[in-house]
A and B are shown apart, each in its own frame.
Chain A
Amino acid sequence: MSMTDTLHDTAAQTAEGLPDKGGPAQPLLIVKDMQKYFPVRGGIFGRTQAMVQAVDGVSFEVKKGETLGIVGESGCGKSTTARLLIGLTEKDSGEIIFDGQGVGDSLNLRDLRRGVQMVFQDSYASLNPRLTIEESIAFGARVQGLSDPIGRAHSLMERVGLAPERFAQRYPHEVSGGQRQRINIARALAMSPRLVVLDEAVSALDKSVEAQVLNLLADLREEFGLTYIFISHDLNVVRYISDRILVMYLGEVVEVGPVVSIWEDQAHPYTRSLFSAMPSMDPENRTKTPPLTGDPPNPINPPSGCRFHTRCRFVDTVCKEKAPALRELPGRGGHCAACHLHDPDSGHDKAGREDIW
């Protein structure tokens, strides 16, 4: 298949995807106060003993064509957020607005799934071992009733760098990890989505393959006009692919902002510790900020006030009593942080001081 054919097919696929409703200024995704508590059952009658507050009041926006990186420790609610966005887990409360349409009111789940697709971390577990690769890729398109699922699968395989004539009839165990993740990407794209959620999609790959897949993702974003939500624990990878970064801690958003702004100056003490834990390439530039100690507190019974106060260097009385709201930092291009230190009226004794860091 020649290059022009591929491009032609691509155009046809975009045309079959969900139409752009709100125009370029409308954010593709708006999440408002999304909340998900998982019940912990126990006892003889399996009654709910406690609630794990996996995602608690998360709000953010994703603009059209941008990549939002979500970072945080394990168990901070990154993956639950992803599953809530795509409707695999049902949210308790909050709103998800996809291109101006509220999910649940004007946009049903089935249509949302044509607009949003997901790539999972475990490339092996995310492919049915009994389906050939072309069948796996074509499945979604078949379910949605799109035209020529197999042809679509072949052109996407070509696009992600897997020759259809060699790979189409193979089973997942017959290809390598990097190839499997390419298949997963092709599978997600076969639905012509507008938003792709990449949940640790490159974390399990070795470094050289990871770089190839990242470059492929960047190319595909250009070519198909995609928007990404990129979940990872690897800050360097997130920096490479993202336009903005969102930092989560214990089910809450603690900081969100443009990648450059966050890279230069992390506003939240947690983000700062997260970045200081990243090894430097320069032996002269040793880690100065003490890294975090201990594990995150139990999300069943999170700390009062600011959830980070148990591990924060700058903890003050107000932190234990009042939860800080996400505030925009002045003159930082939309960089927001949820910390009393940045609110002069919060009552924190070090609030507004720049010399403490």
Chain B
Amino acid sequence: MRTFSRVSGTSNNRFKSFIAALLATVILTYSGMYGLQAATSSSSPTLTATVAAALTFTVSTDQFATINPGTISYATTTLAVATNESNGWNVTLYGSNKTTGNNNLQLAGNTASIPDQTEWIPAAGNATTSAGNSVVRASLNSSGNVLAFRVMTASSSNGAAFTASTWWGTTDADGTAKWAGIASTTGGPRYIGSAGVGSYSASTHLNTVQYYLLASVTQPTGAYSAPLTYTATSN
């Protein structure tokens, strides 16, 4: 844009202005040069790494005490999973004794056994958002005289993403809690829970599996056992 100015003042004033302008020019010229400096050069490499998954898994089981026929007994196993997997993890369960004709809980030599609830089958694709074949206690087979299990909703830490209310009931209360039989190796191993993306925690995940046992008065006495296998896997 063009500018317009008007010159006025005495010659003395003009001389002072000239000197001031000259000084300003000298100062500006000097300050407009950046002083002596060292040469410098930079480079910026990028470090990359892919951290692999690590997982440790331990279980601890509280065994059934001596059971009395006609009285329900409960036992638990605590699952402890520590993993850095950002995509989550899952746990499967099967019983080594369980076959089409054999039950999990057997006397030595399988001379007698306690019936199992119908083997657990989760929803298609192990989708925890859809129900499996678990049932409430009142709907158990053989008038409830069975061995069954479920994953508890309480008694856990960092377990919210693992417990599936559609599979095991929204609470642990009788009538709401759902039970199923321990699967065989043929049908299993079966997912009993899966924690997906967003479940990562630097702390150990603790979850409790609860067992239900009721024996009829005709059940032979003796020490029964059922070897079980839990497997935790990162997704």
To the question of whether A and B form a pair in one complex, the answer is: no
